[in-house]
Amino acid sequence: MNKISIIAPASAAPLKSLNQGLDWLNQNDLDFDLPKNLLKPKLFFASSVETQVEHIQQALKSEAEYLWCLRGGYGSARLIPFLEKMKKPKTKKTLMGFSDITALHLFFNQVWKWPTLHSRVLSQMDPQNPHEDDGQYEKLFSGALTSVEYKGLVPFNAAAKKKQIITSTLTGGNLRILETSIGTSWQLKADNKILFIEDVGERGYSIHRMLTHLEQAGVLNKKVQAVILGTFTEGLEKDGTDRTQEALKAFAQDSSIPFFTGLPCGHGPINYLLPFGTKAQLSVGTKAKLRVEL
């Protein structure tokens, strides 16, 4: 079995959620490292920045193959200056997580050139409340999962209906964090890649504004091979309506980049694994599908 190091680079999770995650690991007979003081909350964070950095350093030096983040929330980006001062480890590790963890995905993918996995965080795993995608995670850690394939992607603009095969790699993650990266040392580099985007708690106008900012900053440009939209949740207007899809479609229809929706990844009830930085093939057209190697 592949060993897992648990890290908490962002916000703290309730102790109950941590214990549920540990129960899931134990139920699946997975070997894992649990560092001391993983949850010693300070301000918005799971622990002090020094403790978080120390835990990452320990995980990078360990025999673990996977670095599984306990929770997203806020805080991952403040660790990047410390990672930049470190010498790149000789042994590759696979980072797992999503949401605020997007900042670390970009660093691992773009600076260290390591593939990562956009995935559930450990605190979301619960053997007493299984998810539809749990089996995929079990296959991952058993070594039985070598690729993922998602059918039924829906073209969101005219460019996405033109039949073609795009072979590239995936990057991206949470839209708010991708926008936050602009102007930093870890700014999103999506040229010649397939860009995945998801978000939570953002109203329609906010989503459109962030996409416009990415476009005007030159990050979302014609060199981006395609954009695949994951789930966008909890973005209700004050009157209770949801304008997130309206905003996404309006932006997509004004773009020459192929846009697709329908990928079950993000803050919804299902969050399937999505490898970043590995070979990906997107079949473009009315019957679009995505296949990504691990």
Nearest-angstrom CA–CA distance, 27 and 30: 8
Nearest-angstrom CA–CA distance, 101 and 267: 13
Catalytic residue among 55, 118, 208, 267: 267
Residue found by looking up tokens 């450990």 in the block: 122
Residue 236 identity = L
Catalytic residue among 5, 11, 47, 99: 99
Cβ neighbours of 173 (radius 10 Å): 34
Nearest-angstrom CA–CA distance, 245 and 260: 12
Query: Are the C-beta atoms of 43 and 102 separated by less than 8 Å?
Result: no
Nearest-angstrom CA–CA distance, 184 and 173: 16
Q: Identify whether 267 is a catalytic site residue.
A: yes
Query: Are the C-beta atoms of 193 and 171 separated by less than 8 Å?
Result: yes
Q: Is 210 helix (H, G, I), strand (E, B) or coil?
A: helix
Residue 15 identity = L
Q: Identify whether 105 is a catalytic site residue.
A: no
Q: Which two three-digit tokens encode residue 141?
A: 């850690």
Catalytic residue among 119, 198, 208, 255: 198
Closest CA to 237 of 229, 228, 246: 246
Query: Are the C-beta atoms of 74 and 10 separated by less than 8 Å?
Result: yes
Q: Burial, 222: exposed, middle or buried (Cβ in 10 Å; 0-12, 13-18, 19+)?
A: exposed
Query: Are the C-beta atoms of 77 and 47 separated by less than 8 Å?
Result: no
Closest CA to 260 of 224, 223, 234, 289: 289
Q: Is 122 helix (H, G, I), strand (E, B) or coil?
A: helix
Active-site positions read 99, 198, 267
